[in-house]
């Protein structure tokens, strides 16, 4: 191992080799090399994966009212999300057009304009420049060569599905309607028309965003890592995949076992909490999948979870879980205990995954040096295999390799 050359960058040759090993039948495939979870590949993702993707960065519940403004950072880009007077959500680069000051630093409510703290340039919620005070000297705001109509905030395309907010940083992804259509069609059997936000969990994984995602879309580890869920009562998995948009699995609960809030309940959901299909029947399956690249969804008999896995570095991922219930079930005092049961389950499950993400992150250098390839369970980990393939294809598409 002393002759191993540790990679400082990921070149086209390394990507082609990873593709060749990965794009085999699942029982023969080798997973992404350890270096693809490290610093060099993360720098490549920041340039060649995330900017060209429709990436989930928030939920609408985080900016519920007109005049709400939410600043956030996504893979090195400062961004503002704004809820306009018409209720629509818009996104802008959080950069003043004067001297590139970060325009907004904290979430705000009831805003009609955003004012730069440095020189007081002001913008409305549509991103239009409103004011350049004293630009030409005392009491002089007009200067030749400065046209307000040309100096608005730089917009970012936005897409919406359920309560998710997607952005496309470089504006070059396929039209959002085309990207999301396969998922809309696959989810059409559920009645999501009256969902209301009913809780939030914020945590961190000390590991790469891909490791955090991969652990969330396979059921293989459930009885070993989350024994309190009683997974042995409902352990089955059918792939739920559309390349480029989502990858996960479906668990059949028609035998009457295990909603997420109260694993093992005879009726399959937390008492009193019910999600329904479009024809009014209770949901009798659990669907868990990644919305590529940054979303993780769980549909269960008692609630919907919309998750975000936000990369903060090559080895740190911020997790947001947002819980949704059908209509008044999100606020009904009589169902408070049932909702608390759902929340308690998530609060116990997420920390149980910390050592899995951290323990795998800890081996990313050593496994390549030792020549240890990762493999996939042909039954349980079809979604993980497909997710990794989407990563490689996104990089190749943008790099033109």
The DSSP bridge pattern shows strands 89-93 and 129-131 to be unpaired
Domain range annotation of the chain = 58-160, 174-395
DSSP string, 231-296: GGGS---EEEEETTTEEEEEEE-TTT---STTTT-TTSSSTT---BBTTSPBP-EEEEEEETTTEE
- What confidence tier does 398 reach under pLDDT thresholds 50, 70, 90? confident
Residue 265 pLDDT exceeds 70:
no
Asked whether the predicted pLDDT for residue 306 surpasses 80, the reply is: yes
Number of H helices, E strands in the chain: 8, 17
- Whether 192 and 341 have beta carbons less than 8 Å apart is answered as no
Instruction: Write down the pLDDT at residue 263.
Output: 39
Task: State how far the Cα of 282 lies from the Cα of 69, in Å rounded to an integer.
Answer: 37
For range 183-202, the mean pLDDT:
96
* Percentage of the chain modeled with pLDDT above 90: 83
pLDDT, position 401:
54
pTM of the model: 0.92
In the prediction, which pLDDT does 261 show?
44
Flag whether pLDDT at 268 surpasses 50: no
- Determine the Cα–Cα distance for residues 372 and 35; give it in Å rounded to an integer: 12
**Tokens 């669907």 found at:** 287
- Residues facing 288 on adjacent strands: 249, 298
pLDDT tens track for 70-112: 999 999 999 999 999 999 999 999 999 999 999 999 999 999 9
If one compares 258 and 204, the residue with the highest pLDDT of the two is 204
Task: With CA atoms as reference, report the closest residue to 69 among 25, 115, 108, 37.
Answer: 108
pLDDT digits (tens, 9 = 90+) for 45-76: 999 999 999 999 999 999 999 999 999 999 99
- Count of residues making up the chain: 401
Return d(Cα 203, Cα 222) in angstroms, integer.
Answer: 20
Share of the chain above pLDDT 70, in %: 93
Q: Average pLDDT over the chain, rounded to whole?
A: 92
List the beta bridge partners of residue 183: none
For 58-160, give the CATH class: mainly beta
Backbone Cα Rg of the chain: 23
The secondary structure of 154-175, three-state, reads: CEECEEEECCEEEECCCCCCCC
What is the band of 252 on the pLDDT scale with cuts at 50, 70, 90?
confident
- Residues 334 and 314: their CA atoms lie apart, in Å, by 44
CATH homologous superfamily for the domain 174-395: Naphthalene 1,2-dioxygenase Alpha Subunit; Chain A, domain 1 (3.90.380.10)
Q: What is the pLDDT of residues 135-169, one digit of tens each?
A: 889 988 888 989 999 999 999 999 999 999 999 99
Q: How confident is the model at residue 257 (pLDDT cuts 50, 70, 90)?
A: very low
Looking at the predicted structure, is the pLDDT value of residue 191 above 50?
Answer: yes
| pLDDT at res. 391 | 97
Q: Largest alpha-carbon pair distance within the chain? A: 76
**In this structure, what is the dihedral angle of CA atoms 330, 332, 334, 337, given to the nearest 10 degrees?**
30
Tell whether the model's pLDDT for residue 255 goes beyond 80. no
Q: What is the pLDDT of residues 365-392, one digit of tens each?
A: 999 999 999 999 999 999 999 999 999 9
Question: Rounded mean pLDDT of 281-297?
Answer: 95
Token readout for 259 is 């909603």
Bridge-partner residues for 89, per DSSP? 83
């Amino acid at each position: 191992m002393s002759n191993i050359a540790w990679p400082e960058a990921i070149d086209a040759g390394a990507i082609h080799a990873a593709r060749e090993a990965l794009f085999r039948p699942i029982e023969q495939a080798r997973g992404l090399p350890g270096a693809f979870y490290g610093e060099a590949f993360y720098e490549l993702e920041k340039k060649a994966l995330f900017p060209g993707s429709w990436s989930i960065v928030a939920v609408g519940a985080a900016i519920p009212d007109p005049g709400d403004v939410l600043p956030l950072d996504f893979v090195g880009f400062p961004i503002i999300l704004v809820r306009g007077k018409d209720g629509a959500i818009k996104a802008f680069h959080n950069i003043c057009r004067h001297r590139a000051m970060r325009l907004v630093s904290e979430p705000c409510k009831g805003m009609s304009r955003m004012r730069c703290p440095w020189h007081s340039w002001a913008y409305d919620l549509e991103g239009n420049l409103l004011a350049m005070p004293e630009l030409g000297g005392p009491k002089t705001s007009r200067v030749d060569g400065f046209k307000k109509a040309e100096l608005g905030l730089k917009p970012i395309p936005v897409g919406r599905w359920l309560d998710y907010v997607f952005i496309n940083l470089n504006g070059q992804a396929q039209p959002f309607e085309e990207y999301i259509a396969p998922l809309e069609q696959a989810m059409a059997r559920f009645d999501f028309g009256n969902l209301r936000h009913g809780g939030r969990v914020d945590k961190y994984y000390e590991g790469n965003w891909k490791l955090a995602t991969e652990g969330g879309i396979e059921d293989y580890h459930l009885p070993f890592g989350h024994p309190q869920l009683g997974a042995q009562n409902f352990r089955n998995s059918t792939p739920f995949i559309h390349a480029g948009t989502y990858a996960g699995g479906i668990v059949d609960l028609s035998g009457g076992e295990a909603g997420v809030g109260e694993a093992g309940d005879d009726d399959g959901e937390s008492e009193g909490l019910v999600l329904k299909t479009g024809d009014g029947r209770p949901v009798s399956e659990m669907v868990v999948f990644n919305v590529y690249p940054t979303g993780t969804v769980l549909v269960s008999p008692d609630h919907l979870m919309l998750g975000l896995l936000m990369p903060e570095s090559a080895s740190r991922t911020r997790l947001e879980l947002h819980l949704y219930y059908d209509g008044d079930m999100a606020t009904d005092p009589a169902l408070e205990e049932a909702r608390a049961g759902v929340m308690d389950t998530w609060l116990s499950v997420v920390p149980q995954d910390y050592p899995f993400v951290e323990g795998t992150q800890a081996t990313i250098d050593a496994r390549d040096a030792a020549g240890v390839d990762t493999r996939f369970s042909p039954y349980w980990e079809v979604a993980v295999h497909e997710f990794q393939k989407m990563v490689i294809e996104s990089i190749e598409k943008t790099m033109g390799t």
